[in-house]
Structure 1
């Protein structure tokens, strides 16, 4: 079995939402559930040894349903961001769930690659805390170092909505990721502060202009934790070949997103999506960037994924499909975990 360290999941969001309804998030994760995609038993069964766990701030109002026209096209209107104080409280509640899970032995909050490897060796879910959409961060960045001190090691300036730091892409098909402006002045300062502290910057969800703004302002590798190839699925969330080339040049990573809307040529949300579509995107990104710049970024608990995987317990189905497609064990190890660990060692400035 190839152990997987995954570039993106939303399990903390699911646990937080269920806790608001009266569920016990500690028992839900440690003992297991039939909800969502990730808990400790299913992760262990599927070799999902850890990953970036997003503190995602849900929108105040629900997004409207995906309305597909007669040509198979859609463009879901954006909603606005959360107010800072509300967003910060939600993020801290999610961080508290992670801390309680760590105390109960369900996971390890990791601040170094050595800690990630130690957690994986011990069979504890190796967790990197990530903020997806930076509404919890004050515009003057006055709480960024405090969040860092409490374990934050990765962030995406925006989700697919705009905020004080930048502009996100809508969920639209077909669409270029070049949908509007990029970083704001506050976003430029956020990027510089992340470079100084050693916080990884995630370019998933940001506009193409924002991608190039980060490339200009940051000296770190370029990373899109859960984005696929726009050449194969022309949805706004996917990366153009020019963006993939820039990631290669900076020795960064693009993590394969399992969301069917980002895998299928027709951009539809359909669990009857073959794993061969996932292999097509991996093949394209490897051909464009090389094996060292491609990894996995499942979007578990945040997207509709292929039914052949179903949840974390089915993670090895993709590994086996890649193996049958000709990827050897050394390359599979890179795709599954080693590329992420190599990159984090660089960003976190470890010796």
Structure 2
């Protein structure tokens, strides 16, 4: 008859425990920082050529980059695949165990496999690597042992050996997984640069993010058009202009000529300054008090360009004109805020 394990008493967390926790935190960060610095030194010397070869192989891969691992290495592999994919290198993660049960069909001869195992002896990877090699796919391995099975089979091997894990038992993968993740980031960034991958490319991969909105949203996407544009002719009275400002709710009105070209703008701020000067403006025309040659943007410009102009000139509204100067839209800072451009 089996005896159940006795429950451990609840742990106490006193001042001494707090001091130990902080010390373990400092030690962990130092050990992992040392591991990355050692890796930096290694690729600056004996491993530099292997890193360059790995970048070249991945850059010239005509298929996709497949990243695989199991256990903690599998989690790191998934993150590396995600980073590669978001920075211009088509990549996906394949679980090493699932690969032996059908997912190997995801890999083709045109692909490059990055196999990750700190020991270099993960049975699930060792089982599929020979098949990958016979298929003709490129094999890059990331391990902590140059003499391991995976390292010996690789076209290029990247060594992420660490002196010790941050785990006080030297058992749980900690410093080694940090080093592996760092070398994956290094590969992704090197490939990003080699591909000439820029901000707009990044935005296309992240359309739901803040950067995507900033770099993919154009003025035409957020500007007000048609009857929503506050507009008066150059011969209109100031009174008529004020009614238009009130109706359209943009705290300004554009002034256009007979051809629809924007020739001026009048804002709530202009009205306040007019009142402060105690001037009789009951008979004024809008042409007498408007700002001529108003600032404007074109509809195909990025919305972020409109934000920069508003910030530079400390204004809240912009007219939108086409190449001929014809008024086609109006933009308020609130429109940009609602679109989450700012």
TM-score, reference length from structure 1:
0.25
Q: Which one has a bigger Cα radius of gyration?
A: 2
Relative contact order, higher structure (CA 8 A, sep 6+): 1
Give the structure-2-normalised TM-score.
0.25
